Chains A and B, each alone.
Chain A
Amino acid sequence: MDALEAKYAAAKRYSETAMGLVFLLCGVLAVAFVLLISAYLILSGLPAIREVGLLDFLFGPVWAPTHKTEPQFGILPFILTSVYGTAGAVAVGVPVGFLTAMFLSKLAPRRLAAVVRTAVDLLSGIPSVVYGLVGMTVLVPAVRRVFRLPSGATLLAAILVLSVMILPSIISVSETALNAVPREYEEASLALGATETETWFRVSAPAASSGIAAAVVLGIGRAIGEAMAIMMVAGNVANMPGLFKSVRFLTTAIASEMSYAGVGSLQRSALYSIALVLFLFIMLINVILNLWFKNKREG
């Protein structure tokens, strides 16, 4: 090997090694971000929990952080509102989403399916503040009129907005699951004399059940993390949840006081603790989703 060739080979080796390292760094960055976020949420969330006491914080029924003599930091109303709101959104959104997915996967002619799919894509692209604005100007007054309430900014309005917002992900994940059902299952059922609808609902749907369940869990994750749209329709009062009451979710509890809670105050660190609780909820959902997909891959 002459000198020039050796030099070229060395340069090639260096640039190859260097680029390999660069790509490794890029890959590790995602892990670093997760660690950074977890570390910050835990470190800034713990002090207030320690000061208030874990049980008083999680199960305290009253949130009155600015009370002059006896400020109270109970976030039970927020936790329950988030749980009820999410459950309500799933109860309304999942049936509609599942039926639409079934329509797209089995009943719709190709052209029509493409149109509906475009509509679903557009719904998922609409910014959450736009949902909030329409909810605030159309839905909230409607809720007030229909149920003769003093104000329509209630848990019910938030549930309806959330259920529309989680529709797109439920539809697309369920449709993928329904499309993946082996053709033979359906043919066998049809050959045995079942009608098409009986086949879809009694053979295809159970066969796709784990994918549909994943869609539901994904919808739960979306609903529990939404903030801005709910800020605009739920009324933002720290009440215990009731369908016709003005309520505050975990997300909106953080957002609505962040702009005026004094830096370094217990009120502000309590907001960080709420964020930590929300983070733990989300991580739980992530773990469930991951286990689900893993089981499916192995099973």
Chain B
Amino acid sequence: MEQLSLHRRMYDRGLRLLLRLAAALVCALLAGLIGVIFLQGLPNLTWAMLTSEPSVIRNITGILPNILNTVALVAGTLLIALPLGVGAAIYLTEYAASHRLAAVIEFAAETLTGIPSILYGLVGMLFFCQKLGWGSSIRAGILTLVIMILPTIVRTTQESLKTVPQSYREAALGLGSGKWRMIRTLVLPASVDGIVTGCILAVGRIVGESAALLYTAGSAAVLARSLGELLTTSGGSLTVALYMYSMERGKIEVGFAIASILMVLTLLIDLSAKLVGRKLRRN
């Protein structure tokens, strides 16, 4: 280093410092966000709030209905999107004989990934709520989210299907197995970790989604008495509740309490995706 001119030495030092500063800024942003949310959210998060239905008359703030709505949205969306997404991925990697059709499908999936969630919300509202006459309801929210997360599941499943060695397939087909049997008994079991990772990513997107849900699933916070009622009536997710409490009702402290729940969920989802990913690499 001693032979370098002063100018080059300064350039080197300065850029190294700049790189470290940028990375430190990113970490500080995350630490700051987590700090602000937990400091203002956790003190406001009470057991009573988690387990009760809100009531204006009795002056109770409760988010239990929103928690249940979120669970219903996650479960319902995965239940429908998982088979469809895995099926599409299987078609693309195992069946697609015509390259042109496969290219069209992949382009469509790319396009779906790029569409902003507010547009999903709008089309979901026009189609499910108005055209089909379902009104604001959890089922309209679920189907809107299915369209939205389909590409995520297709892409991750496709990636893990591609990691199954071609020799497995040739061995199975050579022994006289049909294609479907080969997929069912060999290819799918070998790529289950990747599919699980896709599901976890999808859960993360569903839990964090708000714009697509506001006009499809609505913002109500009433406890449903049956599964049928839950699916056919309006219900706000945790994110929508956060928005309503902090923007429309001016109860920032409730917003922060919900934000801290969402942060814990984000941490858990990221952690479990990492664990599954690590297991995937080890195999």
Enumerate chain A interface residues (CB-CB to B < 8 A): 12, 15-16, 19-20, 22-31, 33-34, 36-37, 40-41, 44, 95-96, 99-100, 102-104, 106-108, 115-116, 118-123, 125-134, 136-138, 164, 167, 171, 195-198, 200-201, 221, 224-228, 231-232, 251, 254-255, 258-259, 272, 275, 278-279, 282-283, 285-286, 289-290
Residues of B within 8 A of A (CB): 4, 8, 11-12, 15-16, 18-23, 25-27, 29-30, 33, 36-37, 40, 83-88, 90-92, 94-96, 101-102, 104-105, 107-112, 114-120, 122-123, 125-127, 147, 150-151, 154, 178-181, 183, 204, 207-211, 214-215, 239-240, 242-243, 246-247, 252, 255-256, 259, 262-263, 266-267, 269-270, 274
Please give the distance in Å from B185's CB to the nearest CB on chain A: 13
A-B pairs with beta carbons under 8 A, tally: 252
Contacts A31-B108, A127-B208, A136-B246; A275 near B119 (Cβ below 8 A): yes
A-B contact pairs, 30 of them (CB 8 A): A16-B181, A20-B180, A23-B88, A25-B87, A26-B85, A27-B88, A29-B88, A30-B151, A30-B154, A31-B108, A33-B150, A40-B123, A40-B127, A41-B123, A96-B22, A99-B22, A104-B23, A107-B19, A122-B267, A125-B270, A127-B207, A127-B262, A128-B210, A130-B242, A131-B33, A133-B242, A138-B36, A225-B115, A259-B215, A282-B115
Residue of B nearest to A222 (CB): B116
Given contacts A26-B87, A126-B263, contact A282 B178 (CB under 8 A): no
Measured CB to CB, the closest approach of chain A to B223, in angstroms, equals 23
Residues of A within 8 A of B122 (CB): 41, 254, 258, 272, 275
CB distance from A197 to the nearest CB of B (A): 4
CA distance A280 to B151 in the complex (A): 20
CB distance from B122 to the nearest CB of A (A): 5
State the main secondary structure of chain A at its contact with B.
helix
